[in-house]
Amino acid sequence: MLKINQKEQRIIELFLKKGKMSSSTAYSELAGLGEEISLVTVKRILSKMAVKSLLKVHGSGRATSYDISTLGRMFADIVARDYCATEPDRRYGMSSFNFEFFPTLPGEIFADKDLKTLNSATLEYKRKTTNLPRTIQKKELERLIIELSWKSSKIEGNTYTLLDTEKLILENKEAPGHDKKEAIMILNHKDAFNFIHKNKALFKTFNRANLEKLHAILVKNLSVGLGFRKRLVGVVGSKYRPLDNIHQIEEAASQLFLAVARVESIYAKALIALLGISYIQPFEDGNKRTSRLMANALLFAHGLAPLSYRSVEEKEYREATLVFYELNSIVPLRNIFVDQYNFAANNYVVK
C-alpha cells in the first residue's frame, strides 16, 4: 500500500481545508501553523506528493498550483471526532458524490501492519473453528446473530437492549414499550444473517442481484421501497447529499462492483462494500444496515470471520462514516474494521 509520512499527512490536511494553492501559499500556511520548514523543502515535498498522485498539479512554471487528489483524500489520517465537532454547514468537506473515488482505488487499501493483524486474527479464527462440534456451532451462531442484530440496529437508533434482543430472537418475545418496527428491524437482521450463512456461495462475488436481495430481507415489513431508489434522500447531520438520479446511482453502483472485484484482499473487498453502499445510498432506507451485512457476506463466503460490531461505539461509527462521506477518507472506518475484525476472530467460532 502507498506509504505516507507525517509531514505529507499534515500537508494533505492543509489542502483538504484550504483547497488549491501554490507552493509559496502552502509554505506560508505551514509557517503560520508553526512548521519549521523552508520554501525549497515545501516545493520538493509537493513535487514528490504529486508523483505519488497524492496531489494534482495545475499549470506550469511560476503558475503551478496544487490541489488534493482523490487518492490523497482516501488516505488522509483524519480524527473523526474532531472533524465532526464542527457544525455540518461549517465543515470543509464535500457536499456531493465523488465519481473519481471507486475508479481510483488502489489494489490494496490496508497498511502492512493492518494486514498482519488481520491475517493473524484469521489464523486464530480458523484454528478455533476447525472440527467444531455441531452443538457449539449452533450456540455460537445464535450468539453472533444476537450481538450483530443488536449492535447494527442500535447504530440505526434502535433502543432495544442486548437482553431485549436475546429474548426477541430466542423466544420471539417483544420488549414492552417499544415501537413494533424496532423488533422487525432486529428480526430482519437475524433473517439476513441466516440467509448469508446458508447461501455463502451466492456472495463469492458482489453484484446488484445479491445486493438487492440482502436489502429486501433487511427492510421486510418496514414500508421501504425495494430496488434502487428514484427519489432524493438526505443524510442527517451531514452536508453530503447523495446522488438523486437513478442513472447516476446505477453508474456509481457499477463502479463499486468493479472496484470490489479489482482489489486484492477479501478484507479490502469487504471494507469497500461497507463504505461504498453507505456512500451511494442506492436504496430509500436501510443502506448502512445492508452495507454491514454485505461486508459480512463477503467475509463469510471466503471463510473469514464475520463482524458483530459489538465493541464499537455507535457515535464513533457514525463519525467515521461522516468523514468518509464528506472527505472520502477511508482511514477512520478502516481502523474500526481492523479492530472489529480482530475482536470477532478472537470472540466468535462461527463457520
Span 296-313, average pLDDT: 95
Question: What is the residue whose three cell numbers read 477511508?
Answer: 330
Q: CB–CB of 98/325 below 8 Å?
A: no
End-to-end CA distance of the chain: 30
> Which residues, in sequence order, are bridge partners of residue 67?
56
Q: What's the pLDDT at 101? A: 97
**Secondary structure letter of residue 36 according to DSSP:** -
Q: HSE on the CB side for 280, CA within 13 Å? A: 31
pLDDT for residue 136 is more than 90: no
User: Which H/E stretch holds residue 68?
Assistant: strand 65-68
Question: Which residues fall within 8 angstroms of residue 229, CB to CB, at 6 or more apart?
Answer: 246, 249, 281, 282, 283, 284
Domain at 101-347, CATH from 1.10.3290.10, 1.10.10.10, 3.40.50.11540, 1.10.10.60: 1.10.3290.10
C-alpha to C-alpha distance for 149 and 308, rounded to whole angstroms: 8
C-alpha to C-alpha distance for 98 and 326, rounded to whole angstroms: 10
pLDDT for residue 348 is more than 80: yes
C-alpha to C-alpha distance for 124 and 345, rounded to whole angstroms: 7
C-alpha to C-alpha distance for 58 and 23, rounded to whole angstroms: 11
SS3 content of the chain, % helix, strand, coil (to 5): 60, 5, 35
C-alpha to C-alpha distance for 273 and 294, rounded to whole angstroms: 7
For residue 157, which phi and psi values (nearest 5 degrees)?
100, 5
Q: What's the pLDDT at 171? A: 96
Q: Where are the domains of the chain?
A: 6-77, 101-347
pLDDT for residue 1 is more than 80: no
Q: Give the chain's mean pLDDT.
A: 95
CB atoms within 10 A of CB 18: 14
Q: Which fold has domain 6-77?
A: Arc Repressor Mutant, subunit A (1.10.10)
pLDDT for residue 169 is more than 90: yes
pTM: 0.94
pLDDT for residue 166 is more than 80: yes
Q: What percent of the chain shows pLDDT beyond 90? A: 89
Q: CB–CB of 130/339 below 8 Å?
A: no
pLDDT for residue 2 is more than 90: no
C-alpha to C-alpha distance for 13 and 16, rounded to whole angstroms: 5
For residue 8, which phi and psi values (nearest 5 degrees)?
-65, -35
Q: What's the pLDDT at 125? A: 94
186-217: pLDDT as tens digits:
999 999 999 999 999 999 999 999 999 999 99
C-alpha to C-alpha distance for 127 and 121, rounded to whole angstroms: 10
pLDDT for residue 319 is more than 90: yes
**Could you tell me the three cell numbers for 308?**
458483530
pLDDT band at 119 (very low <50, low <70, confident <90, very high): very high
Span 237-266, average pLDDT: 95
7-65: pLDDT as tens digits:
999 999 999 999 999 999 999 999 888 888 899 999 999 999 999 999 999 998 888 99
pLDDT for residue 131 is more than 90: no
